[in-house]
Amino acid sequence: MIVAANWKMNPGLSEAKKLASDYCTAAHKGVTRILFVPHPYIVPIRKRLQGSDILLGGQDCHQMQSGAHTGDVSAGMLQNCGASIVLLGHSERRAYYGETSELVAAKATMAFETGLSVMICVGETLAQRNSGDALATVLQQLTISVPVTLPTTALTIAYEPVWAIGTGKVATVAEITEMHTGIRHWLYSAGFGRTKILYGGSVNPRNAAEIFTVAHVDGALVGGASLISADFDGICAAAVA
């Protein structure tokens, strides 16, 4: 199982250092923990994670190796600073920065060629779900966002229904089952037999155990609850229960 924390643009540096240290005090055998931090925190948080088995990741990277891209961060910079994985195609980046699946694929290719693993997010909006297009939307995002050249173990997929992110609404077991089964079939047919699929969207210590019983759920991508170390620990504990 994988439990990944997405801190987004939170919290302040001193709180972030304490949170990372708190993560390290708990051991969760059998769970791979990943921490996606804001870019300026990669170095200070790497120091806090030293000696732990928690992997460190960036929340985005540019599709080019270097150049005139003010404000952007390259995959190589993330790697130089201690990240081993990057989160790509999060719905907030797709919605607020107009990131297309084609761009996500270009970023994923650059990240992999640089030596990073990638976690690619996919998920439907409420309108797409209500019109019966949820699965088709997600399969199309996968088809375009995932470069076929990526090795299966360098890729993780996070299924995050957009309407469940930060809203307290969680997809039902039936909805998660349908989607994760569809994604699993797609992955197999595309040659990604060993790629893991995480669920994300308002996961917390109270709902995690049920979500982890669903077929083809290999863990969770956690936003809000990852900012409270006891909640993050509770989700990790549910992953091995």
Tell me which residues are annotated as active site.
Answer: 90, 160
145 contacts ligand PEP (rule: CB under 6 A): no
16 contacts ligand PEP (rule: CB under 6 A): no
81 contacts ligand PEP (rule: CB under 6 A): no
202 contacts ligand PEP (rule: CB under 6 A): yes
6 contacts ligand PEP (rule: CB under 6 A): yes
Which window, 15-23, 44-52, 122-130, 195-203, contacts ligand PEP (CB under 6 A)? 195-203
β-pairing verdict for 32-37 and 2-6: parallel
160 contacts ligand PEP (rule: CB under 6 A): yes
Residue 38 has phi, psi (to 5 degrees) of: -60, 150
Q: Comparing C-alpha atoms, which of 184, 186, 185, 208 is closest to residue 196?
A: 184
What is the smallest separation between the CB atom of 179 and ligand PEP, expressed in angstroms? 14
Binder of ligand PEP out of 147, 201, 205, 219 (CB under 6 A): 201
Which residues does residue 220 pair with via DSSP β-bridges, in sequence order?
Answer: 3, 199
Binding site for ligand PEP (CB under 6 A): 6, 160, 165-166, 200-203, 221-225
